[in-house]
Amino acid sequence: MSVVNTERSQVARRDPTAWKLASMPDGLDLASAELFCRQVAAAHYENFTVATRLVPADMRQDLANVYTFARWSDDLADESDGDATDVLKAWRSGLDDCFAGEPKHPVFVALSRTVECHKLPIEPFADLIDAFIQDQTVDRYDSREQLLDYCRRSANPVGRIVLCLANCRAMDQFELSDSICTGLQLVNFWQDVRRDHLAGRIYLPAEDMQRHGVSETMLESPTASPEFIALLTEEVAWAEACFDKGQSLVKTAPTVLRPAIRLFLEGGRGVAKAIRRTGFDTLAKRPTLPRSTKLRLAGQAAVSMMLSRISRCLWGSLS
């Protein structure tokens, strides 16, 4: 088997689906549904687990419910070798039932409580499913505008939902969150150029590739060409500009969310720096954050959370 074919087979081995990470409830009672969501969230994503510890305890179940919905949607998109559009459309119908107060799936049972308590709109949830449906038919993007439109539905809704959980619905805050979420999505694309290409997807805008003289066959090379390095240098700067644009959210978002926002923002910048350290050659090796860096960022966020709580207590005693 060739090296490329071996890599393709490795890419095809996805992480376990949400329904394999924990035992699915037999019924539709709320307690079992919420337990399932907590177990899926805790088992699947290290950064999510760290971030949930940085928000008040009364928000953690809601975050787990939202995460499990998004994770389940993503897994549905990839559970079959063929087109999963029909499965996702059925899941979209289930979302309508959830928002109508008639959930018919444990994930939607848990989510319905979150939706009701926080009066969440359906649009960001529907946008996420729509993005997964788009993944079934679109694997190339001609322009940055097209890629940004995809990010608008695949990444930005999550930030907006989380802000709503903290009772923040200001449009200027949404826009700052959108910039951060888009930046995170972009830097993940540039981190995974080789992995995505082996899976049949190219997120580098065709216009940018053509401007730098980068062809699709160049993406199969074990090392980056000068043209590819120049292209990725520009794309990483684009992601970093998104982080800069959203930076003020760390100071203006609801206090309870600031440590987690800082964690993800600095984590995204850390990935950009990791790409830079490789000389922008993400074809040779996928750059990742060292565990020591992750622990440092989590520690900084934890200290920030502690200080904000102390500050609130002091101001409360003086009022």
Same domain flag for 82 and 32: yes
Q: Domain residues for 101?
A: 16-137
> Has residue 260 got a pLDDT over 60?
yes
* pLDDT level of residue 309 (50, 70, 90 thresholds): very low
What's the average model confidence in pLDDT over 17-41?
90
Same domain flag for 217 and 259: yes
Residue 129 structure tokens:
């499913």
Same domain flag for 27 and 40: yes
Same domain flag for 53 and 40: yes
- Residue-wise over 155-191: b if at least 16 C-beta within 10 A, else e? bbbbbbbbbbbbebeeeebbebbbbbbbbbbbbebbb
Give the CATH number, domain containing residue 43: 1.10.600.10
Give the domain-ending residue among 89, 111, 137.
137
pLDDT, one tens digit per residue, over 58-82 is 899 999 999 999 999 999 988 766 6
* pLDDT level of residue 10 (50, 70, 90 thresholds): very low
Same domain flag for 256 and 143: yes
Name the residue type at position 35. Answer: L
> Has residue 38 got a pLDDT over 80?
yes
How many helices (H) and strands (E) are present in the chain, helices listed first? 17, 0
